[in-house]
Amino acid sequence: MKRINLKLNVILLTILAMFAAMNSYSQQTREEIPAKYKWNLTDLYASDEAWRDAVESLTLKLDEVEQFKGTLTKSASNLLKALEFNTELSKEASKIYLYAGMNSDLDTRDMKYNGMKQELQSLFSNFGAKAAFIQPEILAADWETIEGFLKEEPKLEIYRMGLENMFRTKAHTLSEAEERIMALSGMVGSVPQAVYGTFSNAEMPKPEVTLSDGSTIAIGSAEYGRYRASSNRADRETVFNAYWNNFAKFKASYGEMLYGNVKSDIFNARARHYDSSLEASLYPNNIPAEVYHSLVDNVNENLPAFHRYLKIKQRMMGVDTLKYLDLYAPVVKDVDLKYSYDEATTLILEALKPLGKEYVSTVEKAVDERWIDVYPTPGKRSGAYSNGAFYDGHPFILLNYNDLYDDVSTLAHELGHTMQSYFSNKTQPYPTADYETFVAEVASTFNEVLLFNYMIDRVEDDDVKLSILMEWLDRFKGTLFRQTQFAEFELKIHEEAEKGKPLTGDEFSEIYADIVNRYYGHKEGVCHVDDYMHMEWAYIPHFYYNFYVYQYSTSFTASISLAEKVMSGDKQALDNYIEFLSAGGSDYPIELLKKAGVDMTSTEPFEKTIASMNKVMDEIEKILDKKEKE
């Protein structure tokens, strides 16, 4: 089956508003929101009944896979028939799952669509068990035989990439019986993530707090995201204390969830004869483990640059001690950068013009034809993502838009994912249309770079310029340093578990405390990290995605390098970039980026990113010095 991709954004859970009262949409039900701001899921299926018919039709076809058993390597035509059969099934399965999954995301409290997802997961797992013979049977032949088939039957060429990779990873492919067991294990391996999602989004109790204005509110993820950006420090303190101490009440349960997921990763790695969970995650995409380790090492060596950022934030806020709870608060007084969704789309369309007419016109279509579900509503999945799994249709974007400039940037980010899916699906045959996360975040961050440069070039007021510069600097914090902080934590907990150490909520908190305190210079007095923040690991859904987060950081460095070339007016750089967006999974991620113009096995992208960050900080300090002299 083709992997079902959810392209998650850099700050997956917390792109929310400063004050609920400033945006009435945050209080509205779905019925109260105009249709133009909501998904049109009839693009997938006209109704739940039509979806059910599609599921039944697909179910009848699944058993047909067994007709190919024992025939795959007897002729080129036999191999082609089997692969084409799998392609058609996969396309329909992706569409079916997309409909159930996105309906569930619109209201995580509605168990109907959650049940539909579970039904499909069981169905696909059973199919995987029946189709377990395919890969071992192909690998039983030698590559020369398969190469001969490719030359004999031109229609097989679109499967070359997958077949070559299959033979490259041959040492990690098991026997038919073992592959069947591995496929069936997917029914239980996904349980920790499913439990985490349901509990965190739908069932975790919300603590109540009383704010400085006398109002009493329940603090869930949406409220936390809103009030952590409050300009009132006392309110932030209240909200942080309540929110994180509430997580601590469920430390043992969150520990079991995450440890269960780590054990699942280890099981898969050892069953497939990998030396580690990290290798098992990276090797199928031909990404050297050194890329991961190099990222962590480079970020740790450049923590002084991060600490410089934190000291600038302290200076701008005018506080004696910068605290972790200050990191999302506004730093420029009397500047409230708020943009309605319609204003945001206008800004983004202007900012993206360097990418050409087709790019911009497709973004307009995404806005006008309801590819985007815009506003937060009760029960809606928090955060944002783009899903490009509807190959014969169009991508979809989920937002929780609350009128902050940060939300404008998030929309630009998700449109980057959407456009990569659009170009890949349009250009590539289905077997090579899907692309890996390692390259996915390049397209999204690239759009953020264009938006930042568009905005900063048109702002003259120093306070507004400072606000936008700091927002962009916050992206370096959130994408390069924070995501690498998560990546280091994820690596550490897997390494500890692989040594045989059992992990509980207490151990996770201890490991996280060591990393977060080091990154934020807690002991050096750069930024004070309260003890309750040691529970933050329980808040991050990415830890259930098998070494996912490091790719945000690597992609950020790649996008900085590529965007500079395109913005310089280099037409060849633009052509290379559009070709990159259109390449899908037609080559390995490292090679696709090399063709686009950036070598991720070198230190150059990281060095350019740190230089860019320092340039922004130089500009901020220049404006601050000027203002202090006035």
Residue located via tokens 């009440």: 249
Determine contact, residues 134/178, Cβ cutoff 8 Å.
no
What is residue 323's three-state secondary structure? strand
Collapsed DSSP state (helix, strand, coil) of residue 455: helix
Contacts of 262 (CB under 8 A, 6+ apart): 277, 493, 494, 497, 503
Which has the closest alpha carbon to 82: 8, 39, 138, 35?
Answer: 138
Residue 536: name the closest of 322, 319, 243 by CA.
Answer: 243
User: Is 414 considered catalytic here?
Assistant: yes
CA dist 375 and 401 (Å) reads 5
DSSP state of 381: P
Identity at 275, one-letter amino acid code: D
From the list 137, 223, 414, 448, the catalytic residue is: 414
Tokens representing 257 are 């969830």
Proportion of the chain in helix, strand, coil states, percent, rounded to 5: 70, 5, 25
The sign one gets for the Cα dihedral 50, 53, 55, 57 is negative
φ/ψ (deg, to 5) at 352: -90, 0
CA 598 – CA 557 distance, rounded (Å): 9
Query: Which of 359, 375, 418 is closest to 393 using CA atoms?
Result: 418
Q: Residue 167: how many CA atoms within 13 Å on its side-chain side? A: 15
Cβ-based neighbours of 369, under 8 Å, separated by 6 or more: 40, 394
Q: Cα angle vertex 63, ends 57, 65, to 5°?
A: 110
Q: Is the dihedral of CA 482, 557, 523, 501 positive or negative?
A: positive
Point out the residues that are catalytic: 414
